[in-house]
Amino acid sequence: MSDEQYVRLAYRLAFGRKLNLDNPQAFTEKINWYKLNWRDPLAKKCADKYEVREYVRETVGDKYLNDMFGLWNNVDEIDYSSLPKKFVLKPTNGSGDVLICEDKDHFDWEKGKKVLQQYFKRHFSGKTKEWAYYDLPYRIIGERYIESSYENQIKDYKFFCFEGEPKFLFVASERGTEHLKFDFFDMDWNWLPVTNGHEHNPNLKKPELFDEMVEVARKLSAAFPHVRVDLYEEEGRVFFGELTFYHFGGFTKFEPDSWDFEFGKYFDISKVPVSKEV
């Protein structure tokens, strides 16, 4: 079936309602419209976890990039003995896929290689029809493991930006556990009573470098009608995470459902240049 037929079917299965592509109002509807109608080569560059580093470097500077120590075309090219004691490996064409080693002396590399090979076979873009990820080459990037100042993995601050302006964000906390939590906030750090796939964390505090993160998100998002800018705050500095053009592929519910339509108000698709050429 065509991409449009596919997303219509997938949306109805996920939400129990028809996908309105003629006059989308909900944020998830607009994300699916965005996948089908917007084509920008810069989005492909920025969807690639290696290529995006050049865009970040040119836009906000090297200081926001985590240290990179390797790039490989496949897992067999990796010399495990040369890897640092702690490291992060992730596919350059994936979304959310990451292999973390906190202690090389107690790490099962054979199991790790199998995980990376599974990522290679995943091809998630075909399941969600996320155009920016189509045909991206599978490579593996190695980055420095960032120590968290908390018990669990570092928090992820994800800013939803429209025409270069952050409008709201969510914080992913308690990562690396079975109790991943998502909490939404407005730009004044007021907690929003919305759930998006995960329970809440009542102990979140506004990050010290919040204003700097907002400015970085503003600059990195300026070239796009809409993008989610993912950042971290650790070691007394802000780190770039990734750029995400299609939040959860537009297939995950906001609860209550009214927030889907509330967030949709920020996304003016009438200003999006339309092109269906791949």
pLDDT-derived band at 127, boundaries 50, 70, 90:
confident
pLDDT-derived band at 275, boundaries 50, 70, 90:
confident
The answer to whether the CB of 99 falls within 8 A of the CB of 146 is no
Query: For position 83, what pLDDT does the model report?
Result: 95
Q: Which of 32, 46, 34 has its CA nearest to residue 220?
A: 46
Rounded to an integer, the average pLDDT of 250-276 is: 95
Query: Distances in Å between the alpha carbon of 133 and those of 47, 101, 136?
Result: 6, 26, 6
* Distance from C-alpha of 266 to C-alpha of 145, rounded to nearest angstrom: 35
pLDDT tens-place string over residues 154-210: 789 999 999 999 999 999 988 766 788 999 999 999 999 999 988 898 889 999 999
Number of C-alpha atoms within 13 angstroms, CB side, residue 252?
10
Query: Distances in Å between the alpha carbon of 31 and those of 84, 96, 107, 161, 225?
Result: 39, 18, 39, 13, 11
Judged against a pLDDT cut of 80, whether residue 277 lies above it is answered with: no
Query: For position 196, what pLDDT does the model report?
Result: 92
**In the predicted model, what is the mean pLDDT of the chain?**
92
> Residue 123 region, left (φ>0) first, then alpha (ψ -120 to 50), else beta?
left
Q: Which of 231, 210, 236 has its CA nearest to residue 221?
A: 231
Judged against a pLDDT cut of 60, whether residue 278 lies above it is answered with: no
Q: Which residue intervals of 82-128 are DSSP H helices?
A: 109-122, 125-128
What is the residue type of 197?
A: G
Rounded to an integer, the average pLDDT of 4-9 is: 96
Query: For position 206, what pLDDT does the model report?
Result: 94
- The CATH number corresponding to 1-65+147-270 among 3.30.470, 2.30.110, 3.40.50, 3.30.160 equals 3.30.470
Helix H, strand E, coil C: the string for 174-240 is: CCCCCCCEEEEEECCCCEECCECCCECCCCCCCCCCHHHHHHHHHHHHCCCCEEEEEEEEECCEEEE
* Distance from C-alpha of 64 to C-alpha of 206, rounded to nearest angstrom: 20
DSSP lists the bridge partners of residue 91 as 140
* Of 178 and 256, the one with more pLDDT: 256
Query: For position 197, what pLDDT does the model report?
Result: 81
Judged against a pLDDT cut of 60, whether residue 152 lies above it is answered with: no
pLDDT-derived band at 124, boundaries 50, 70, 90:
low
Going across the sheet that includes 191-192, the strands are 191-192, 181-186, 165-173, 156-162, 226-234, 237-244
In the chain, ranges of CATH 3.30.470 domains: 1-65+147-270
Query: For position 13, what pLDDT does the model report?
Result: 97
pLDDT-derived band at 212, boundaries 50, 70, 90:
very high
Judged against a pLDDT cut of 70, whether residue 151 lies above it is answered with: no
pLDDT tens-place string over residues 12-67: 999 999 999 999 999 999 999 999 999 999 999 999 999 999 999 999 999 999 99
What does the block give as tokens for 106? 């107690």
pLDDT tens-place string over residues 58-101: 999 999 999 999 999 999 999 999 999 999 999 999 877 889 99
* Distance from C-alpha of 35 to C-alpha of 66, rounded to nearest angstrom: 29
